[in-house]
Amino acid sequence: MTNPLPHSQRSDARDNRERILAVARTMFAEQGLEVAMREIARRAEVGPATLYRHFPTKEVLVAEAFGEQMTVCTALVDEGLADPDPWRGFCLVIEKACEMQARDRGFTAALVSAFPRAVDLAADREQALGKVVELVRRAKAAGGLRPDFVLDDLIMVLMANGGIRATSTATTVAASQRLAALLLQGMRAQPAVSPLPPAVRLPLTALT
């Protein structure tokens, strides 16, 4: 009978796995999915053999790294669909999606990634986007969302929100909240002026 791994070894293996995933999420978000596995291993401070023992292929690593974000994304859209007021549900999704993106750059990568053979990830993404389309349809039918809104507009929202650069996560989130409020006012079928969240001072160097 094979003796089980000592507790310390099991703990080390679990810590290595979580560190690899954390580094992979960051690097995929910063550099795209083409980042080298060896570079991920180096930044995670593990050997390539350790990385491949946990994640035999990059496809497996991508699916694991983004699986949590996709689950959160789907749950968020479900929350919006559950609101009896479709416009309010739509606003909730936009506001929370922008905040999630401000806190975690991997959120956008999870939405837009299209990695060969990452079948589960692609299926989850398509399911989430299908629900977004349904939420958009309901918000238009209820008269809250302007009729010429298209899914590409949501991509522009995430691109604009993802461009926010600030000195802290808290400042990034605050700026994201103001941006979302500005954009939502432009998306209303019947424009209405509402108070915006407080303005945030951002460094001009972020433009470069």
Predicted confidence at residue 116, as pLDDT, reads 47
Number of domains in the chain: 2
Same domain for 41 and 79: no
Mean pLDDT, rounded, of the chain: 84
pLDDT tens string 140-161 = 999 999 999 998 898 889 889 9
Predicted confidence at residue 157, as pLDDT, reads 92
**Could you give the residue ranges of the DSSP H alpha helices within 83-118?**
86-103, 106-112
Same domain for 119 and 17: no
For residues 84 and 72, give the distance between their C-alpha atoms in angstroms, rounded to a whole number.
Answer: 21
Q: Which residues of the chain have pLDDT under 50?
A: 1, 116, 119
For residues 34 and 50, give the distance between their C-alpha atoms in angstroms, rounded to a whole number.
Answer: 20
DSSP code at position 189:
S
Predicted confidence at residue 8, as pLDDT, reads 56
Same domain for 178 and 85: yes
Predicted confidence at residue 87, as pLDDT, reads 97
Q: Is 187 within the bounds of a domain?
A: yes
- 97's tokens: 């999606």
pLDDT tens string 97-130 = 999 888 876 666 656 655 545 545 667 777 888 8
Domain that residue 29 falls in: 1-56
Same domain for 110 and 19: no
Same domain for 144 and 123: yes
* Residue 122 belongs to domain with CATH number: 1.10.357
